[in-house]
Amino acid sequence: MFQNNETNGPENPLFADYLNKIKERSKKTRVYSPHQNTGLELAGILEDQAHKSLYIRLAKTNNPENLLRIAKGVAENKNIKNKGAYFMKVLKESKKQANENRNDQK
C-alpha cells in the first residue's frame, strides 16, 4: 500500500490554507437576482440572518415593496423582541386582509 510521509489531514499547512480560503469565500454573498437582494435586505432590517433563506423565498413569491414596507415598520418598533416572528405575523394578517378585500369586491 502507498504511504505518504506528508499528512493529508488538518495538520498539513496546505489543507489548513485551503480550509481558510473556503471559510472566507463562504462569508461573501453572491446575489444573482432581485428577490435574493430583497430577501437579504429583509434579513438585515429584521436583524435575523439565521432565516435569510426564508426571506429570499418570501421575496420571490410576494411583492418586494410591500415586504420591505412591513419590515421597516416592524424594525421601527423598539418594543419588539423577535422582529422576524412579528414580521411573519404582520405579513400573515396583511395577506388575510387582502384576501378579504378581494372576496368583498366579488
> Is 90 part of any domain?
yes
> Is 89 part of any domain?
yes
pTM: 0.70
> Is 73 part of any domain?
yes
CB under 8 Å to 52, separation ≥6 — which residues?
39, 40, 42, 43
Q: What is the pLDDT of residues 5-61, one digit of tens each?
A: 455 555 677 778 887 887 777 777 678 899 999 999 999 999 999 999 999 999 999
Q: Which domain holds residue 47?
A: 34-105
- Position 1: which residue type? M
> Is 9 part of any domain?
no
Q: What is the pLDDT of residues 57-104, one digit of tens each?
A: 999 999 999 999 999 999 999 999 999 999 999 999 999 998 888 888
> Is 3 part of any domain?
no
**Number of structural domains found in the chain:** 1
Grid coordinates of 62: 410576494
> Is 25 part of any domain?
no
